[in-house]
Amino acid sequence: MNRFSYHRATEAADAVRMGSEPETRFLAGGTNLIDLMKANVERPTQLVDISRLPFNQIEELSDGGLRLGALVSNAETAYDSRVAERFPLLASAILAGASPQLRNAATNGGNLNQRTRCYYFYDGATPCNKREPGSGCSAIGGVTRIHAILGASSACIATHPSDMCVALAALEAKVRVEGPNGEREIDFADYHRLPGDEPWKDNTLAQGEMVTAIDLPANDFTTNYTYLKLRDRLSYAFALVSVAVGLTMDGDRVSKARIALGGVAHKPWRVPSAEALLEGQTPSPQLFARVADALLDGAVGQGVNDFKIELARRAIRRALRQASSGTPQSQIDKQVA
């Protein structure tokens, strides 16, 4: 048992002040942090419980978008009628994750900041640069079924486990944070980071910075969208590969395309030049294959996970087919079956 102090913040400024102290963690739903503390992976000396702060609303934005409070649960977000109708890609991605009980407790801010599911990160008996900087990476040369094929480094090949974040990347959300230096907004593409030489840093937050909300800009990905998640079990499992696609169609042509991949890198993976290949074009299997190749340019397996490159290629093509035909996944599944 590691000793730690517990404080329940009643105001954001208090949370930021206490959160700025070293070895302090914010506690939201606790579904990831408490597990990591029990496993002795996270050893904070201070917990700041932010769950009673007033970031628990979903609000309208003037451009027709929505502001999701950081403390709204994943379930409340997915089932909010405005999210379900205007951002069904996000609702599908959230509902593809975890279990109903977990989604009730898990918060939007916590989902962004959940940590990798790399087996070795959880195993205190093995070296891991993310857990113990400088100790080495046990995954390289080890069991890598769930590990990265894109953007990895010689220090870490972990993936980001979130489903919600893959949709947020495709939706080009903005993360609102409050910290010791005030408030700022971070483009979703810049929120999570690649491992590089500092794999212990999952994202670009400074110590003490707290996510207060996630802004969803208005879009019209309400008909031509798909969140396709491929995993070892049909539910209650993290993605081996996932694909979030949002398309705007102008007649039979694509006028705008946004695509993000999950399960393949340390952050949701986007390649704007691959999205541009679709724009102005009529969907076709040949075009989808080119887009998949562009998204996976530079993909490298670790041996055990080499299969993920072909899995991702097929998943991208299937997700684009589903999105462009405006076909919900269940109907496509029936057609394929």
Ligand X SMILES: Cc1cc2nc3c(=O)[nH]c(=O)nc-3n(C[C@H](O)[C@H](O)[C@H](O)COP(=O)(O)OP(=O)(O)OC[C@H]3O[C@@H](n4cnc5c(N)ncnc54)[C@H](O)[C@@H]3O)c2cc1C
The interface partner of residue 210, options being ligand X, ligand SF4, none and the CB cut-off 5 to 8 Å by kind, is: ligand X
* CB 319 within 8 Å of CB 246: no
Tell me if residue 35 falls in helix, strand or coil. helix
| The residue to which tokens 């944070």 are assigned | 177
The interface partner of residue 238, options being ligand SF4, ligand X, none and the CB cut-off 5 to 8 Å by kind, is: ligand X
Tokens of 328: 């919900």
Contact residues toward ligand X (CB under 6 A) are 25-33, 35, 50, 70, 74, 97-98, 102, 105-107, 109-111, 113-114, 161-164, 210-211, 238
Choose which of 128, 240, 291, 296 interacts with ligand SF4 (CB under 6 A): 128
The interface partner of residue 116, options being ligand SF4, ligand X, none and the CB cut-off 5 to 8 Å by kind, is: ligand SF4
* CB 124 within 8 Å of CB 131: yes
Which among 241, 244, 211, 217 is positioned nearest to 319, based on CA atoms? Answer: 244
CB of 64 to ligand SF4, least distance (A): 39
The interface partner of residue 157, options being ligand X, ligand SF4, none and the CB cut-off 5 to 8 Å by kind, is: ligand SF4
**Angle at 85 (CA atoms; ends 81, 89), nearest 5 degrees:** 115
Does residue 74 bind ligand SF4 (CB under 6 A)?
no
Q: Is 298 left (phi over 0), alpha (psi -120 to 50) or beta?
A: left
Does residue 264 bind ligand SF4 (CB under 6 A)?
no
**Residue whose CB is less far from ligand SF4, 156 or 320:** 156
The interface partner of residue 107, options being ligand SF4, ligand X, none and the CB cut-off 5 to 8 Å by kind, is: ligand X
Does residue 120 bind ligand SF4 (CB under 6 A)?
yes
- The Cα 280–Cα 129 span in angstroms is 44
- The Cα 236–Cα 94 span in angstroms is 12
Choose which of 24, 74, 113, 116 interacts with ligand SF4 (CB under 6 A): 116
Angle, nearest 10°, between helix axes 285-295 and 307-324?
Answer: 130
Binding site for ligand SF4 (CB under 6 A): 116, 118, 120-121, 128-130, 137-139, 156-158, 199
